[in-house]
Amino acid sequence: MVIGILGAGSWGTALANLLANNGHDVTVWSIDEKEVAMLNEFHEQKDRLPGVILNKNIKFTTDIEAVAADKGIIVFAVPSPFIRGTAKKLSGLLKKGQIIVNVSKGIEEATLSTLVEVIEEELPDTNVSVLSGPSHAEEVGREIPTTVVVGSKNIETSQLIQNVFMNDYFRVYTSTDITGIELGGSVKNVIALAAGMSDGMGCGDNTKAALITRGIAEMMRLGAAMGAEMKTLAGLSGMGDLIVTCTSKHSRNRNAGYLIGQGLSYEQAMAEVKMVVEGVYSAKATLALANQYHVDMPIVEAVNDVLFNGKSAKEAMMELLARDRKSEI
């Protein structure tokens, strides 16, 4: 199959390599001319995925029309704040019914739309799916066994995408619960910031286990209110992605949270991590959704207080511990 990938960061290039090694014809777009020149010369994403030598058949370009024209699948792998702008660039370039796979994670702050909804709004005649799960690019690039889930409006599209992406180290499950998959992939980044903060303050495994467990409870409450399936949020895109993002050395959200827990502002933490920290962009939107659907999400609220309202991580933790006594279920 002929595939176009939008975004040449760590995840975009890791997936490009996977798809090219699966035998597909892959072209990757980036807006950054220097990045494209580096990738064409070295076939290695030296800045974001060092040490992973990419398939020589992958083509890299700054020409978005070359990535959009006559493709079986187009993959959106740009950071969430740039999804709408990138989709606008494709207006008028795609065939009706074009299959698009979004692999970015987040909620648009201005509209509270999921990223699939953003793409559908800008490209209304396309067939948009989402692929998500516990899948750090650093490990997928090195062919470490990984499992993800793809969600589409119809199971036939999910199965087609499953067949394109799946191989002996990258296992793909199918679903039709797009809302659940997108919520899991977005909210987990906010909870991972909290987990990182607890590490930065010197808390232990007990604290992190509590944040993960109560974090999935918050995710499920919001998911239930928005019509997601609970089994989705108990699966790869919910619990699975939450675990890996809260615990992994590769997690930019956990790492940024760690720095914030040590006293840095979120701006300083993002500059130190040197990548887009999706949880920072999703935090306000997740809290706004919680308020819209009248869902209690105290961890998400605490993260917002630390990021944007001047509260220290220690103060936020003590307020969470001092909440009224409740039954667990």
Active-site residue set: 188
Q: At 184, list the tokens.
A: 């899991």
CA–CA separation, 102 and 129 (whole Å)? 6
CA–CA separation, 144 and 248 (whole Å)? 14
Q: Under a CB-based contact definition with an 8 Å cutoff, are residues 170 and 155 in contact?
A: no
C-alpha 161, offset from chain centre: 18
Nearby residues of 197 by Cβ (< 8 Å), 6 or more positions away: 257, 258, 260, 261, 303, 306, 313, 316, 317
DSSP conformational letter for 3: E
Positive or negative, the CA dihedral 100, 101, 102, 103 is negative
Residue tagged 């702008």 (tokens): 85
CA–CA separation, 183 and 281 (whole Å)? 14
